[in-house]
Chains A and B, each alone.
Chain A
Amino acid sequence: EAGVTQSPTHLIKTRGQQATLRCSPISGHTSVYWYQQALGLGLQFLLWYDEGEERNRGNFPPRFSGRQFPNYSSELNVNALELEDSALYLCASSRSGGARETQYFGPGTRLLVL
């Protein structure tokens, strides 16, 4: 069974540009979660999508947004990039949403903003 996949593996952008990160969940999983791991800040929850709907959102500005497609894959969009957006962005999926299910993580997309 294939795990969670993310693309691209690395992304270099300049300040003010937009970045789009993609995630494909494990087959049969309907929930997708996004986390940011910035240097010195640890892993922080960004967004949770389940069945195409945004279910919860972390303490991030509105320029962080995303969506979930009918096949349960997901996109994370970051507009008006700032230098501090440089981080490893991790996607996770679970069989269904909420607290009870184990979240399985992908390898991440490393975003560098210059």
Chain B
Amino acid sequence: KQEVTQIPAALSVPEGENLVLNCSFTDSAIYNLQWFRQDPGKGLTSLLLIQSSQREQTSGRLNASLDKSSGRSTLYIAASQPGDSATYLCAVSHAGGTSYGKLTFGQGTILTVHP
């Protein structure tokens, strides 16, 4: 059974800092990994999707890397801003079997960027 873990559970940083969020998964038979952002009480916004054959993806101040063999992904946020404050979730999609089609999510990292 796939398990996804995110560390740290919460992070508070001053504005302008560069930061790293971590995600690990137990089963490397994934199709892709996605990073999402969730604002309080809201739905999910997709930030980056990395296919299993890729090593990293970049969008603006965000960079996500994937090491499938070790079951790890990191989300790097450069020059953090108060507007980045949200919960960040990683999720993996499964290559087959009974989990096909579903995303398995981590518990999330609650990020607070203070001015």
Contacts and interface: CB of A to CB of B under 8 A. Distances in A.
Interface string A44-68: 1100101000011010000000000
A76 interface: no
Interface of A: 4, 31, 33, 35, 42-45, 48, 50, 55-56, 58, 88, 90, 92, 97-100, 102-108, 110
Contacts of A56: 98-102
Q: What range describes how many residues of B lie at the interface?
A: 20 to 34
Interface string B94-115: 1110111111111110000000
Interface of B: 31-32, 34, 36, 41-46, 49, 89, 91, 93-96, 98-108
28 contacts: A4-B43, A31-B101, A42-B106, A43-B89, A45-B102, A45-B103, A48-B102, A50-B101, A56-B98, A56-B100, A56-B102, A58-B102, A88-B41, A90-B44, A99-B31, A99-B32, A99-B95, A99-B96, A100-B31, A100-B32, A102-B34, A102-B46, A105-B43, A105-B44, A105-B46, A106-B43, A108-B42, A110-B41
